[in-house]
Structure 1
């Protein structure tokens, strides 16, 4: 415990009814602990949860697209030739990037 950044304890008591509300909120926004929840609430005056799952899906999709583009680039560099099929595939991949980008930008993060 010597490496603890927060060395000033704060202690207060809640009734059973009062304690239900923070515990319920902590579970609904998936906070790590009551201490973290209360610290944010005291320091910032509010606590919210933002759903970034659409960004994870977006990054996964872009990773797949970039992998395909890298495979095409490797094939072109190793053979020294580019084929119409490669050009068409790159165009389709770029269209997929733009569709994914447009889809991602149209979504608003869900604030709980």
Structure 2
């Protein structure tokens, strides 16, 4: 990341500062310098709702945990049940489908 060592002084009215802070709050931005820099350079800020991604990560953790349990069982007993593997495959297929849908939605953001 490039070092920020140049300064620009920007004077605003109290009302303007309050409007800037309100817009930052809408986006969930905490750093005013970063917000103003982004707006000056790009003219917009985007707030992504990543709840679907958080859910996908949660499901991946569950699936990974299940896979670890199957591997531990296979190492201890030398065998695992076909139904367990099929269940894991169905869950992984669902996760891949959800991931593809999420990526398509994220790619369509403009």
Which bin holds the TM-score, normalised by the shorter protein? Answer: 0.7 to 0.9
Secondary structure of the corresponding residue to residue 23 of structure 1: helix
The alpha-carbon deviation at position 103 of structure 1 amounts to: 2.8
Q: SS in structure 1 opposite 2:5?
A: coil
**Would you say how many aligned residue pairs link Structure 1 and Structure 2?**
103
Kept in 2, the 8 Å contact 1:29–1:49? The answer is yes
Which residue in the other structure is 2:98 paired with?
Answer: 103
Structure 2: runs of 5 or more not aligned: none
Residues in 2 aligned to 1:14 and 1:31: alpha-carbon distance in whole angstroms? 19
Higher RCO (CA-CA < 8 Å; seq separation 6+): 1
Instruction: Specify every segment of 5 or more residues in structure 1 that has no aligned partner in the other structure, as ranges.
Output: none
- Offset, 1:19: 2.6
| Matched residue SS, 1:7 | coil
Query: Could you tell me how far apart the structure 2 residues matched to 1:106 and 1:81 are?
Result: 35
State whether structure 2 residue 84 is matched by structure 1 residue 89: yes
Compute the RMSD of aligned alpha carbons. 2.0
Distance 2:78 2:91 in 1: 26
Which residue is equivalent to 1:11? 9
TM-score by length of 1: 0.76
TM-aligned CA deviation for residue 36 of structure 1: 0.9
Runs of 4+ in structure 1 over 3 Å off: none
